[in-house]
Amino acid sequence: MTLTIPFDNSYARLPNSFYARQAPIPVRAPRLVAFNAELAKILNVTPGDVEEMAEAFAGNTLPDGAEPIAQLYSGHQFGSYNPQLGDGRAVLLGETVGADGIRRDIQLKGSGPTPFSRRGDGRAWLGPVLREYVVSEAMHALGIPTTRALAAVETGEIVLREGPMPGAVLTRVAQSHLRVGTFQVFAGRGQLDSLRQLTDYAIARHYPDADGPMGLLRAVVEAQSRLIAAWMSVGFIHGVMNTDNCSIAGETIDYGPCAFMDSYHPNTVYSSIDRMGRYAYSNQPDIAVWNLAQLATALIQQMEDKDAAVEEATEIVHAMPALLQENWLKRFRAKIGLVTEEEGDLELITDLLTRMAQNQADFTNTFRALGGEAARDQFTDPTAFDTWSDGWAGRLAREQDPSAVMAGSNPAYIPRNHRVEQMIQAAVQGDYEPFHRLNSVLSRPYDDQSGADDLKRPPTDSEVVHATFCGT
């Protein structure tokens, strides 16, 4: 069989100023370590034999129809504006329109230097590639919008990070790689024709019903509000919510030093590069609003009537916290079994979270156990749960089928950080069994699976991972 990707490229039809034409740089000895056949089907991609796919997903050969480009963007990194970023270690091969009618990008990440590499080597090492593969696929299985992973290859080359590491390339699939930073770069340079063209492109591709730039802003505000609420509901910490990592399509993108929380605390930070805790768990909604304010600022540049645009954009961005709160409440109501809405629900939920934080309760296991007997065991002082639970029982009595609602909202399995780290350690030694096992169990996160209890367990003291690294 021959690998066939039915490319139908649109971004490469945009003007040259949107990207640099850049082929992936071949690697020495590519070896296919993962291929996502289920995703390939959705993309209408026909798999080829293993050697052929290793060559293609390493960038050594270009599948017919590919038009590799490195995309231009800029962005705010930890609050300060960098006027030019761009794909420094990735190339977009092209797009396909899937069996579901959705257009998606197929991108190689770790495929070598581009004109946007700045001082970087354009490469990735195996650890972050496998982390992104596992965590993005787990996110998808949790029902949360995300980029996905089609393939991973080892390159047979060494990349230098904390030490010499095995190199790898991830094939990433996204509804697009348009970011807030893609708008910022043209706005920042005063290239208004490009900004208008990009706006039209984004509307046509993602929000065909949106009315002009302010309609686009409104749609992205809504999508990001849903997304961040979903992250919060599973204890996910993105780690690097820079504007260049904020997707216009509303997908989770750029899994760097991200992690799911074990024991609940709102101030949790994992990223080793986030020293100030800017992107701590509980800051994520505020940061999303800040990011969307940057999108608003960029979009406004193209408007004829600036005063009216500023007024409308301000109204849209100011409405975002309430929208986030609404989505958050919906998610957390479901987590405690509530479908109907009553006054006092917010207080009931925040009271539980406060007690969880005070009692080092495991986020995932506590919510999962709410439907059963063991929730109180998650608390260092179980009576802290009991006194909350009395009030909750009264509220639950007015619900139809709370157990089913909870079972579908509270996963049994998340990609726990210590398991991800153990998986990476094993893969570096050539043992891919933990990688495949994690993918398999995490593909059905809401189903209890026999023989997988170890993947529910929080880390022991010696297993705790205190920081996650970018791997750039």
Q: Which residues are catalytic?
A: 244
- Smallest separation, CB 224 to ligand AMP (Å): 17
Sites for Mg ion among residues 253-312 (CB under 5 A): 254
Alpha helices in 167-211 (DSSP H): 180-189, 192-206
Q: 359 or 468, CB closer to ligand AMP?
A: 468
**Residue 132 interacting with Mg ion (CB under 5 A):** no
- Smallest separation, CB 20 to Mg ion (Å): 17
Chain positions contacting ligand AMP, by CB under 6 A: 85-89, 116-117, 120-123, 240, 244-245, 254, 256, 470, 472
**CA dist., res. 379 & res. 362, Å (int):** 8
**CA dist., res. 97 & res. 105, Å (int):** 9
Reported as type and span, the H/E element at residue 299 is helix 284-300
Q: What does the per-residue mask of binding to Mg ion show for 242-261, with x meaning CB under 5 A?
A: --xx--------x-------
**CA dist., res. 254 & res. 144, Å (int):** 14
Sites for Mg ion among residues 33-52 (CB under 5 A): none
The interface partner of residue 333, options being Mg ion, ligand AMP, none and the CB cut-off 5 to 8 Å by kind, is none
Question: Are residues 254 and 174 in contact, defined by beta-carbon separation less than 8 angstroms?
Answer: no
User: Which range touches Mg ion (CB under 5 A), out of 131-139, 164-172, 236-244, 372-380?
Assistant: 236-244
How many other C-beta atoms lie within 10 A of the C-beta of residue 2?
Answer: 10
Please spell the DSSP secondary structure of 335-370, one letter per residue.
Answer: HTT--S--TTHHHHHHHHHHHHHHTT-BHHHHHHHT
Angle (nearest 5°) at CA 89 between 171 and 61: 55
- Smallest separation, CB 9 to ligand AMP (Å): 21
Cα within 13 Å of Cα(360), Cβ side: 4
Q: 85 or 220, CB closer to Mg ion?
A: 85
Q: 82 or 410, CB closer to ligand AMP?
A: 82
User: Which range touches Mg ion (CB under 5 A), out of 106-114, 239-247, 372-380, 390-398?
Assistant: 239-247
User: Which range touches Mg ion (CB under 5 A), out of 101-109, 188-196, 238-246, 411-419?
Assistant: 238-246
User: In degrees rounded to 5, what are phi and psi of residue 77?
Assistant: -110, 120
User: In degrees rounded to 5, what are phi and psi of residue 358?
Assistant: -70, -20
Beta-sheet strands, E only, within 191-325: 236-237, 259-260
Identify which of 298, 316, 40, 291 has the alpha carbon closest to the alpha carbon of residue 183.
298
- Smallest separation, CB 303 to ligand AMP (Å): 28
Q: 245 or 291, CB closer to Mg ion?
A: 245
- Smallest separation, CB 471 to ligand AMP (Å): 8
Taking CB positions, which residue lies at the least distance from ligand AMP?
A: 120
The interface partner of residue 411, options being Mg ion, ligand AMP, none and the CB cut-off 5 to 8 Å by kind, is none
- Smallest separation, CB 120 to Mg ion (Å): 12
Question: Are residues 168 and 66 in contact, defined by beta-carbon separation less than 8 angstroms?
Answer: no
Q: 118 or 318, CB closer to Mg ion?
A: 118
Q: Which positions touch Mg ion (CB under 5 A)?
A: 244-245, 254
